[in-house]
Amino acid sequence: MSLPYLNLREMEQAAAGVLPPAAFAYYTGGANDEHTLRENREGYARLKLRPRMLVDVSHIDTSTTVLGLPLAFPVGVAPCALHGLVHPDAEVATARAAASLGSLMTLSTMSHRTIEDVSDAAGGQFWFQLYLYKDREVSRALVQRAEAAGARALVLTVDAPVLGRREAIIRTPVHIEPGTVLPNIGPRVPGSEHLDDLQYFDSLLDPAITWNDIGWLRGITGLPIVLKGLLTAEDVALAVQHGCHIWASNHGGRQLDTAVTALDALPEIAEAANGRAEIYLDGGVTRGTDVLKALALGANAVFLARAVLYGLALAGEDGARHTLELLRDEVRLAMMLCGKTQVSELGPELIWR
């Protein structure tokens, strides 16, 4: 299907016209005054590129690998809850879109579709994002299912021991269709009727999660573990000590407002990791030049959340694919204009200081 949108911002604007109000509030919103949400985007515009000239750019290779998995271009899909709020095919559509382009799907714990269905749709090329429940046995079972279904890594989200204050969804709460059972959550426990759907999910999360739980997780899985939501050198040093990889993120400005952006934190993160772990990043990426900047400062790949959801809302699998295709083509063009022919050539000298 050919879609008319020229860039991710146009898709966002178009999606705003079709999203039901609760999904709009949930997808677009950030925490508190949304300073971090805005800064995630604005930070990219402030960083200036130092392009090199008179380089033969007639052949460009955008491919890379993450944890040994080949990617056609250095962009994956970040975990997002509840794709089914905007499209009946939900995470299966997103996973198909990502797989069709050689990208990578990260499946959220809070999905509408099962891990097994998404694995099939992704051709086995997917990561599973884990929220640690108070009930560790439920988490253990999820990890085992993800591993059995062929997940290539576990992404443990560590910046949400409790959900941030997102005022848009306090006003317009998300409602999951009555009768829908989210496969990784199961039926509601009696006595939780006073909580809306997200508050209920929040009540399952364990605010007591610590570094000791990384040892527990390591003990129950042989999969690589990626910690999502790290923003400081101190935590990166601990992550490396625990044998984990690093996903720099402030959760799309949805958790701690005024937290540093992943882009600003990236230099200290890369320095602390010192090549001992892979580094991924998300937050506010909407242009190919954003991807180049993140890679130049030390990320191995970047991930997109909202932009993919907007594509899904507009046109299901085709829409999610359109989002990823636009960015893939922009990455290629930006590399040509920077005089870079391979992803491995993107280093700090690309950034003007």
Ligand X SMILES: CC(C)CC(=O)C(=O)O
Choose the one of ligand X, ligand FMN, none that binds residue 305, judging by a C-beta under 5 to 8 angstroms depending on kind. ligand FMN
DSSP class of 155: E
Distance CA 46, CA 141 (A): 45
Distance CA 52, CA 338 (A): 6
Question: Is 50 within any annotated ligand binding site?
Answer: no
Answer for which of 41, 112, 228, 254 binds ligand X (CB under 6 A) is 254
At 266 the three-state DSSP class reads: helix
Question: Is 131 within any annotated ligand binding site?
Answer: yes
Question: Is 328 within any annotated ligand binding site?
Answer: no
Q: What is the dihedral of CA 100, 103, 107, 112, to 10 degrees?
A: -30
Q: H or E stretch including 281?
A: strand 279-282
Answer for which of 43, 164, 283, 311 binds ligand FMN (CB under 6 A) is 283
Distance CA 164, CA 262 (A): 17
133 contributes a contact to ligand FMN by CB under 6 A: no
Rg of the Cα trace of the chain?
Answer: 19
Distance CA 255, CA 34 (A): 10
**CB under 6 A: which stretch of 12-20, 181-189, 207-215, 281-289 binds ligand FMN?**
281-289
Question: Is 35 within any annotated ligand binding site?
Answer: no
Q: Does the active-site annotation cover 251? A: yes
Q: How many residues does the chain have?
A: 353
The distance of closest approach from Cβ of residue 157 to ligand X in the complex, given in angstroms and rounded to an integer, is 7
251 contributes a contact to ligand FMN by CB under 6 A: yes
Distance CA 71, CA 146 (A): 21
DSSP class of 62: -
231 contributes a contact to ligand FMN by CB under 6 A: no
The distance of closest approach from Cβ of residue 83 to ligand FMN in the complex, given in angstroms and rounded to an integer, is 9
Distance CA 267, CA 257 (A): 21
Question: Is 207 within any annotated ligand binding site?
Answer: no
Site string for ligand FMN, 94-123 (x = CB under 6 A): --------------x-x-------------
Active site residues: 251
Q: Which residues bind to ligand FMN, rule: CB under 6 A? A: 26-27, 40, 78-81, 108, 110, 129, 157, 228, 249, 251-252, 282-285, 304-307
Residues engaged in binding ligand X (CB under 6 A): 81, 110, 160, 163, 198, 201, 251, 254
Binding site listing for FMN = 79-81, 108, 129, 157, 228, 249
